[in-house]
Structure 1
C-alpha cells in the first residue's frame, strides 16, 4: 500500500475513534434556542418542505442553527463550508464563489449556465452566483442537503442544495436585538432587528439591517510604497417582512431585501513560475499573504434587491400555497489579475479585467400538500423560473501602461424553466414508511454572443475565419436549445425503536444544458453543453442515545454522473466539457452533551471521486483524464467543536468554545499534477462569551484562524505561471449583543 493510502487509513481510523469518544454543545447544531440541562432538544428542519425533527428525515442534511451561527460568527460561505462535511468552495473572485457538495460544483458563471449546487433563501432559488446574499444575521438556520433534489423543491438540483431560512415576522410579541463588533483590520460590524405585532396580534412586521466593513487583508504595494488595499469589505444589507393571518386558515408572508457591496476585489499574485509559458520570465513571484503589487485598487461592486411573497390557504383535505419572487442584480468586478511587479529589466506588465452583469429573475410556484396532522404526507407542485442575463467579460494586457491586447466577450441569455413534481410518504406500519417522488422538467435557453480581440488567441477569443481562413478576431452568433428530463426518488425508512431510524433511498437528478462562459468563435457559441444527470444510492442511520444526551447520524452513498459539466482553464477563459464520474463516501455527525457543562461535536466525511470518462483538448491535443480525481474535493474532512459552559453564582453564564477543521489535500486542476495542489489544512477558531443573568446582554471575545494558517482559496496556471489568492489571516475582536 502507498504511503498516502496508509495515511488515509490511519486518518479514517482516528477520525472514527474521535467521533466515537467526543461530545458537542447542542448549540453547535440545533436550529432552535439555547437549552437547559444536558438533554438535546429536537432539531427542526424543512428539508422535505415541511417542519420535521431532523432525526426523522431520510435525507442527509447538515444543519447550522441560529445560535451557533451567531456565536461562532458564521458570516460567509467559507465559514459554512468549514463546518459542513462534504461541502467545498473556491473563490474567483470572492463575490462569485464556486460551491460544491460531495465533489459536484461546476458552477458556470456565463450567462447561459447554471450552478450544480443550488442556493435557496426562504425557499427561493438564486440562479446567479453574484446574486447570492450570505447575510447570516437574524437567520433561523442553514441546511445543507446532499444529493439530487427536485421532487420537493421548486428548482431541480443534481449535486446538492444550501437552504437558508431567515427568522420570520412573529405575531406572538414584541422582540428586538442589536449587536456591535470591533476587531483588527479596523473591522466594524453593526446589526439589529425589530419585530412588532400588528392587526391585533394577527400579524407582525420585522425589519433587519446590517453593516460590515474591514480594511483589506492585502496591502497593495507599488515601488515599495503602500498605495491601497485589497480583500476588504464594505457591505450593507436590509430586509423588511410583513406577516398576516386574516383567519385561522389563511396566511400571508411578504419579504423584501436589498444588498449593496463596495470593495476593491481580490489580492491575486503569481506564486510559481513554471518556465514553460508565455508569461514565464516576465513577473516576479511572491507568496506574501498580506502584500501584492497590483497597479490599481480593483472594483467589486454589487447591488441586488428582491421581493418574495407567499400565501397559504388551508382546505378541508389539504393546504394550497402560492410562492412568487422577483430579483434584480447589478454587478461589476474589475481588478489586476496578476498583482505582480515586473522582473528587473522588464517593462511594466499587467493583466487585468473582470465582468459586469445585469440579471432579472423571477419564479412562481403553486403547491398543494397534505395537512400537518395527516398520516399520509404528500405534495404536488407546479414551478416556473425565468432569468434574463446580460454579462460581459473583459481581459486586457498592458505593457508600460498601454493596452497591448484587449479581449471582450458579451453574452445575452434567457432561461425558461417549467416543472411539475409530486412526492409522497406512506406509512406501511407504525414503524415503516415508504416514500417516492417524480418530476418532469422543461428547460429552454436562448443566447446571443459577440466576441472581439485585437490579437486572436492571446486570451480566449479567436473569432471566425476570414476570407483567407485566418482568425478574424471577431464573431457574432446566436443559439437556442431545450431539454426535458424525468427525475425521481424512492426509498423507505424504518424505526426499530423510538430513538433509531434506518433508511435507504435512490434518487435521480438533472441539470439542464448550457453554453460556454467565454466562447472562442461562433461555432463555440452554438455548440453548447449537454445536460448532466446524477443517480445517487444512499443508506443511512439516525440515532439518539444515552437518554437524549447523544445523537449520532451516519450515511454512506454512491453517485454516478453522466455528462457531468466540468470547467477548465483555457488561457484566461474557462471552457466547459462533459465527463462521466463516480463518487462514493461516508458522512458521520455526532453530538454529545457530557454533563457538568462539557460538550463536544464532531463530523467526518470521506469522499472518493474519480472521472470514469473525460477526454478533452489541451493545446490542440486530446487528453484523457479518466481515473483522475475531481477538483477541489478533499478525501477527508474532520470538524470538532469542544465547549464548556459554566453557570456563575450570579446567574450569569460563561461559555468557552473552539472550532477545529481539517481538510486533506485537494487538486485544483483536472490533471492532478503539481503545482495546482493544495496541501492539507488545519484551522482553529475560538470564543469566550459572557451572558448576563437576565440573558439580555452578552459580550464575546473571539478569534478566527488563530494559528494563522495560510492556504490558497483559489489557484490556477496561466501562461506557465501559477497565480493564487489566499484565505484571511488571523482575525479577532469583541462583540456586544443586546436582546429585548
Structure 2
C-alpha cells in the first residue's frame, strides 16, 4: 500500500535540519553554566499507571500486552488523533483514506466494512465509553491524560466488540487547583493548531475544567480540475467537565463537542487519467500526473456530541461506579471515485451517516482477603441511519455497459435518434442527446441495536508471588435492520426519454429495422432500471430483518513474580462480536465472530541499568472474521459489487517492548511485532482459493524512539525522535490478482512503510513558556492505498498519505 514520493526542498526544512544539528552541541556547551535543573525523564515504565484490567495498576504489573502513551507524549509528538500514533505502535494499523470511515486493525485483525450493519473488532473506548461505529472513533485528542492499546481479546472487561483488542482513551478530570495552558503551532500549507485549557476549583468540593482544540490546513496539493486545494481540513472541538467530590463519593459530568469540515479525499488515477480495463499489469505510478478530481460534490464532515456522567461511591465492601453516556454524530463523505476528470469515467459517491448511542454500566471493584474482584452489568442501545449514494452519467454508464456487455445504450440511442430525425425531418429527434446526463442511485439503511451484558473478573492472590485470574462476560445482542433502494433519479434523462416516446422513436426504429423488437424492449428496460442498487424486494418499501446472538467469553490467566522485578504469565481467552448486516447488499448478513487466543509473556526491569522490558508470544484462531469485499467484476452482471466475507484466520506472533533510561538526560525505547497470519480454508468472493495463504499483514512492524532533556540557555531543552516501520504487505493470489498488493510494481501497493517524527524544544527558566519545532513525517515519505471501485468504469485509483509537515510551536501555562 505504499510508494515513496520525492518532494521539493523547502527553506523551512533546511532551517529545521540546521537547528537540529546545532542542538546536539547544547548539552556540552552549557554543561558548566548555572541555572535550573531540567525535569528528569521518568525513571522507568513501572511508574506508568493504567486501567487495562478495570483496576489502577502499574503497567509492568499488568499481565497483558499493553502500550501506553501519555498525553504529554502525544502533544510533544504533534499527534492530532489515533491515526498519528499507529506508526509507533507495532501491530496497530489505521487507514484514514476516508477519515469519517477509518479501517482499524490490531494484530492483523479488523474489518473493511464501512457500513452501519457491523462494528470493528477493535473496540475504541473514551473514558470507559464505547465510541460506537468507526465514524465517531477518530476524534481529535482534546486534553488527553493517556492512551492504552491492549492487544488480544479484551471482551471480559471492555465489551463484546473488542475481540481483537481495545484502545482506551483517558481524559483529564478536573482537579482542585488552578491550572491553565495554551499552545499554538503554525506550519506549512496553512497548517495551524491551537489548544487552550483552564482548570479551577469552584468550591471545596467542586472543580471545573474546560479545553478547546482548533486545527486545520489549506491542503498539501491542488486539484487541477478546478484549482481548489486538496488534502486539507478544519477541525475544532471543546470539552467541559465538572467534578464534585466528598469523603465517599465523586461525580464527573463531561460534555464533548467536535466539528470537522474539509474537501473530499484526493484520489489519483493509476491508468494515467484514461479508461483502461487492462488490469494491474498496465497500471502506472499515480503521481506522475496531476491530481484531477471532478466530483460534483466533493466534501467531508463530522459533527460529534457526547455527554458522560461517571459517579463513584465508596461502599463498606467495594467501590461502585456508575457510567451513563450518550453519544451522537453525523458524518458526510462525498468524493471522486475514479481519480480523473475524464467524462467517460465519471464516478462519485456520497455517504451520509447519523448515529446515536446510549450506554449504562454499573461496576463494583473490591478486595476480600486474597481476592481482588470486579463485577458489573451494562446496557447499550444504538440507532444508526446511513444513505449511500452513487453518482454517474449516461456517458460513464456507456463505458460500464460496453465493457460488461459490449453495448453502449445511450450513445446508440443518440445516434439512432439523430439519424431518424435527419431522415424524417423531425427536428426534435435531430437535437436529441442522451449522453452526459446525470444518474443517481442510493440505498438507505436503518439499524436499531440492543446489547446487555454481565461480567466478572477475579484475581486470586494464591501466594505472595502467584496470581490466578478468572473472568467472563455473558452478552446478549439483538439487531434489527432494514434496507430501501428506491428507483434511480435521472430527471434530465427522463425528459429526453419522454421526448423520444412522444416522437414514436422506438416504433419507428423497429419499423425501419434499425432495432429488433427484442432490442427495443431491452433498451427501454435498461434506461429505466437501477444498475448498482437493484434489489426488487426493497425498491417500493424497506426490507426488514432482525436477529439475536448471545455468547459467554471467558478468560484464564496465571502470573508468577520471579522476585520483585520480573514476572511471567500465561493466558487463555475467548472473544466475541455479534453478527451483523451488509449495508449495501439487501439481506446480506454476517455470522457472529469468535476468537480463541493464547499468550505467554514476561515483564520486568533491571533497576541498576534503568532497563525495562515486556515480551509476549501469542497465537489466535478467528472464526467468521467479518469483512466486506469489493468484487470488481461480478460474474452475474460484470458490475462491481460488495460482498460479505466471513473467513477463518489464524496467527502466531511475538511482541517485544524495551525502554532504557540511560541517564538523567537520555531515554531510548524500542518495540517490535512479528506475526504470521494466514487463512484457513477459504475461497475469496472473487473465486480465488487462498486457503493457507497470507491474510496480508506484514511479518514485521517496529518502532524506535529517543528522548532527551537537558539544561540549555538558562532554561531547559528537550529533544525527541520517533521512527516507525511496517514491513511490506504479504500478498496472496487474490490481492495480487486485483492489484491491491504488489509492493514491487510502479504503483507500489503494499510496500514497506517508514515514518519519522521529531521535536526540538526549549522552555524558559520560569517554566511558563516555551518554543519548539515539530516535524511529522520528516523523511517526506508518502504511500498509497489502492481502491478498485473505479474499475467499473476502467479507472481504478489510489489514496495517498500526507507528506512532510514542519511547524513552529509556542506553549504557555499558568
Q: Which moved more, 1:402-411 or 1:560-569?
A: 402-411
TM-fit CA distance, 1:149: 1.2
2:317 aligns with: 317
Give me the whole-angstrom Cα distance separating, in 1, the residues matched to 2:149 and 2:338: 35
Bigger relative contact order, structure 1 or 2 (CA pairs below 8 A, ≥6 apart):
2
1:57 matches 2:58: no
- Cα distance between partner residues in 1 of 2:122 and 2:91: 12
* Alignment partner of 1:423 is 2:457: yes
More helix by share: 2
Alpha-carbon contact 2:100-2:138 (below 8 Å) kept: no
Query: Against the structure 1 CA distance between its residues 99 and 732, is the aligned structure 2 distance closer, same or farther, given a 3 Å change threshold?
Result: same
* CA distance, structure 2, for counterparts of residue 102 and residue 205 of structure 1: 39
Indicate which of 557, 566, 570 corresponds to 2:618.
557
What residue is the counterpart of 1:727 in the other structure? 801
Change (3 A) 1:734 1:378: same
What aligned pairs does 1:284-295 form with structure 2 within 5 A after superposition? Answer: 286-288=286-288, 291-295=291-295
Displacement of 1:291 in angstroms is: 2.9
* In 1, Cα distance between equivalents of 2:43 and 2:333: 49
What secondary structure sits across from 1:292 in the alignment? coil
Number of aligned residue pairs: 680
Kept in 1, the 8 Å contact 2:688–2:734? The answer is no
Task: Identify the residue that residue 593 of structure 1 maps to in structure 2.
Answer: 661
CA shift for structure 1 position 407: 2.5
**TM-score (ref. length: structure 1):** 0.87
Q: What is the match of residue 421 of structure 2?
A: none
Answering whether residue 391 of structure 2 is matched by residue 396 of structure 1, we say: yes
| Residue of structure 2 equivalent to 1:39 | 43
Per the alignment, residue 435 of structure 1 pairs with 469
Cα displacement (A) at 1:616? 3.9
CA contact (8 A) 1:112 1:414 kept: no
**Which of 644, 665, 672 is equivalent to 1:604?**
672
Match of 2:707 among 643, 656, 660: 643
Q: CA deviation at 1:530?
A: 0.2
Following the alignment from structure 2 to structure 1, what is the Cα–Cα distance between the partners of residues 597 and 790?
36
Q: Quick one: distance in 2 between partners of 1:196 and 1:289? A: 55
Question: Are 1:381 and 1:421, in contact at CA under 8 Å, matched by a contact in 2?
Answer: yes
- TM-score normalized by the length of structure 2: 0.79
Conserved in 1, the CA contact under 8 Å of 2:275 and 2:344?
no
Q: What secondary structure sits across from 2:734 in the alignment?
A: coil
Give the Cα separation in 1 of the matches to 2:732 and 2:216. 33
Q: Kindly report the root-mean-square deviation, in angstroms, between the aligned alpha carbons of the 2 structures.
A: 2.7
Task: Give the corresponding residue for 2:347.
Answer: 351
List per-residue Cα deviations over 1:456-475 (Å, max 9, x = no partner): 9986423238xxxxxx9777
CA distance 1:37–1:536, shift in 2 (3 Å): closer
Please give the per-residue CA displacement for 1:389-423, whole angstroms capped at 9, x wherever unaligned: 11010011125694454321110110111111000
1:367 to 360, 363, 369: 363
Deviation at residue 656 of structure 1 after TM alignment: 2.2
Partner Cα separation in structure 2 for residue 584 and residue 419 of structure 1: 30
**Aligned twin of 1:116:** 121
Which residue of structure 2 lines up, in the alignment, with residue 408 of structure 1? 442
SS at match of 1:317: coil
Per-residue CA deviation, residues 65-112 of structure 1 (Å, 9 max, x unaligned), is 122111111113221211111101223412221101101111533222
2:533 corresponds to which of 421, 443, 461: 461
Give, in whole Å, the separation in 1 of the partners of 2:278 and 2:289: 25
SS of match in other structure, 1:67: helix
Corresponding residue to 2:769 among 689, 692, 697: 697
Structure-1 separation of matches of 2:533 and 2:541? 9
1:626 aligns with 2:700: no
Deviation at 1:127, TM superposition (A): 1.1
Match of 1:381 among 376, 380, 388: 376
By how many angstroms is 1:244 displaced? Answer: 0.5
Structure 1 unaligned blocks of 5 or more: 1-33, 466-471
Contact 2:658 2:669 in 1 (8 A): yes
Bigger radius of gyration among the two = 2
Does residue 543 of the first structure (1) align with residue 604 of the second (2)? Answer: yes
* CA deviation vs aligned residue, 1:234-260 (integer Å, no higher than 9, x gap): 011000000001x21111111111111
Contact 1:283 1:340 in 2 (8 A): no
Q: In the alignment, is the contact (CA less than 8 A) between 1:264 and 1:297 conserved in 2?
A: no
- Partner of 1:11 in structure 2? none
Return the match for 2:222 from 210, 219, 224. 219
Gaps of 5+ in 2: 1-37, 396-434, 489-525, 633-639, 742-749
1:713/1:725 contact within 8 Å kept: yes
Residue 672 of structure 1 pairs with residue 735 of structure 2: yes
Q: Which residue of 1 aligns with 2:561?
A: 495
Equivalence for 1:5: none
* Alignment partners' CA distance in 2, 1:217 and 1:669: 34
SS in structure 2 at match of 1:140: strand
1:234 matched to which residue of 2? 234
Q: How far, CA to CA, are the matches of 2:705 and 2:315 in structure 1?
A: 45
Residue 506 (structure 1) aligned with residue 572 (structure 2): yes
Cα offset for 1:156? 4.2
589 and 288 in structure 1: CA distance in 2 versus 1, 3 angstrom threshold = farther
Q: Which moved more, 1:685-694 or 1:248-257?
A: 685-694
Change (3 A) 1:434 1:280: closer
SS at match of 2:85: helix
Residue 27 of structure 1 is matched in structure 2 by: none
Partner Cα distance (1:435, 1:253) in 2: 30
Q: SS of 1:355's equivalent? A: strand
Report whether the alignment pairs 1:579 with 2:654. Answer: no
Does structure 1 conserve the Cα–Cα contact (< 8 Å) formed by 2:694 and 2:732? no
Deviation at 1:306, TM superposition (A): 1.1
CA contact (8 A) 2:39 2:709 kept: no
Q: State how far apart, in whole Å, the 1-side matches of 2:729 and 2:590 are.
A: 26
1:601-656 Cα distance to aligned partner (Å, 9 max, x none): 111111111010222433xxx4322122224x221111111233321362x11122
Structure 2 distance, partners of 1:284, 1:537, is 43
- SS of aligned partner of 1:613: coil
**Corresponding position of 2:631:** 570
